[in-house]
Structure 1
């Protein structure tokens, strides 16, 4: 069978970037997709035209170097680019991955560890970080959605969160609302985002990540477990263990598919061991 060849032009990546922005992709998504496509182009010999065989060879090279999930993530970006440019016949299938029954306990934040992190922030007198962690962990919002926690939302008890072209209401429990009202009053925040820098700009991911890492030593928590998204995971596991309603959880988290929510609710290997022992099937 004859191999179809496609020529790359110099402006394709720039046009593809514009296309991603027009699709209202998140900045992190745009950055990742461009990086992954560039990685494929660097794999090709200089001036080489793109064929399906090239993409298959690239898939094999990725499989030899990266974990299956990482390989699939990079191929997803490349397939998206190939669809956009009109070379769909060059797309490749993703690797088949058996879904794990439980997650690694050395990466998941426990309730006790979360409590120690909040206590450490309070002990350091960092009320902003203290309440920021409680806000993410009690609502399940993404770190990028924190800017929607505004003084107006605190007053009403409901934040209108917009992400990936979808808007959803996020309820603030009464205890959190009370704490945030007091914080806003002390800080003189009458409107706009609650969690801001000294200059009044919303905190970014790097600020929050750095501040959380500084708590690890005092809290006695492994640094590998301490990052904002793990607070969202802890919310998801806690909610699911209480309610056992994966569909409602998906709605709360803003997931388009319950399959994504299932990843958030996986128990650790230690928890799985306890569940197996509780069956009492060994005589």
Structure 2
């Protein structure tokens, strides 16, 4: 690749990270654009069309290839855009074929034997593929696009369609016929009015400190200072917290490092030594805590402390951590890493302000 094209690639990479696409999509776009810049004779419409003809076999397997190159040309103000073909929805079949029933069965067995997915995730994959085979007998790009169109005609939510696409891509990869599909865009929303305030968080900690069993004080302290999901929180040990950090596998089988406050380390070390605490951290009276059991405790504590019950769930403290971090440090990219987000766009929802904050800022600034 010559220096001019290297400059184009460098500028494009800087641009694409501002588009809000997921890291996975960005990585694929960069790969396709790099291949194009290395191999195409011309960086223009004609060069793109010739490149498509020469790489038709690649294009069939990677639907994002054309989108990535068109995005590059648009970025360069060449203005070439790919016209979308009209995709017709499908009609339901009478029955699922025996062949596809067996394929689906074998795929689910493979999922459970070779992957560490939760039963809920496996059920989503099963439901998605069963629905697909109710409409078509073969898995290929054309059928997948028409299936997605069918789901859109049924007015399914973008989130549900994205789940169906994930299942289809996983299944096609298992078949060794990988397919990539465009996902519908969704706007991330966060009701910032349902996140505990700093005063409410401290009030809750002060209350839990008065209880004879201070384990729950540490539970809230860890949730509020790490931004961990409950599934990740359930994996922590007392030794992890005392050591100051741990790397765990979290959502989407991705590994993520967690840090623990120095003050929290010291408090936990003294408490663990006094009460003989070792091993799994999140343990209640009857064993490891469950989402339901912990939620019931939170509601009761919130009622005692005068905190709205809508703020009393484990995930609210993940939102609390994000809001507090951005209050001290405006680095959204660093927060995305700390939270384990695949896209900075997901993290930007925490820049929203609550009703009270908006009203206060309005009264402070609108004085004319």
Bin of the TM-score, shorter chain as denominator length = 0.7 to 0.9
The corresponding residue for 2:101 is: 10
Deviates more, 1:219-228 or 1:103-112: 103-112
Q: Shift in Å at residue 231 of structure 1?
A: 0.5
Specify the alignment match of 1:196 in structure 2: 283
RMSD of the TM alignment (CA)?
3.5
- Cross-structure match for 1:144: 231
Partners in 1 of 2:335 and 2:247 — Cα distance? Answer: 17
Alignment CA distance shift 1:146-1:54 (3 Å) = closer
Aligned match for 2:153, one of 44, 60, 82: 60
Q: Which residue of 1 is the match for residue 121 of structure 2?
A: 29
Query: Which deviates more, 264-273 or 12-21?
Result: 12-21
Q: State the alpha-carbon separation in 1 of the partners of residues 88 and 154 from structure 2.
A: 23
Partners of 2:89 and 2:149 within 8 A in 1: no
| 2:338 is equivalent to residue 252 of structure 1 | yes
Question: Secondary structure of the equivalent of 2:280?
Answer: coil
Distance 1:35 1:150, change over 3 A: same
The runs of 5 or more residues in structure 1 that have no matched partner are 64-70
Distance 1:262 1:273 in 2: 20
The alpha carbon displacement at 1:61 in A equals 2.9
Unaligned stretches of 5+ residues in structure 2: 1-86, 138-142
Distance in 1, matches of 2:289 and 2:228, equals 15
Q: Structure 1 residue 152: deviation in Å?
A: 2.3
Give 1 or 2 for the bigger CA radius of gyration.
2
TM-score normalised according to structure 2 size: 0.60
Q: Distance in 2 between matches of 1:73 and 1:55?
A: 12
3-state secondary structure, aligned to 1:255: coil
- Which of 228, 232, 235 aligns to 2:321? It is 235
Distance change >3 Å, CA 116–CA 16, structure 1 → 2: farther
What residue in structure 2 maps to residue 223 of structure 1? 309
State the shift of 1:256 in Å. 2.5
Tell me how far 1:53 sits from its aligned partner: 5.4
* TM-score (normalised: structure 1): 0.76
**Structure 1 residue 137, shift from structure 2 partner:** 0.5
Higher RCO (CA-CA < 8 Å; seq separation 6+): 1
The C-alpha deviation readout for 1:190-229, integer Å capped at 9, x for no partner, is: 4x21222346x43232232222122122111222221111
Distance in structure 2 (CA, Å) of the matches to 1:3 and 1:142: 38
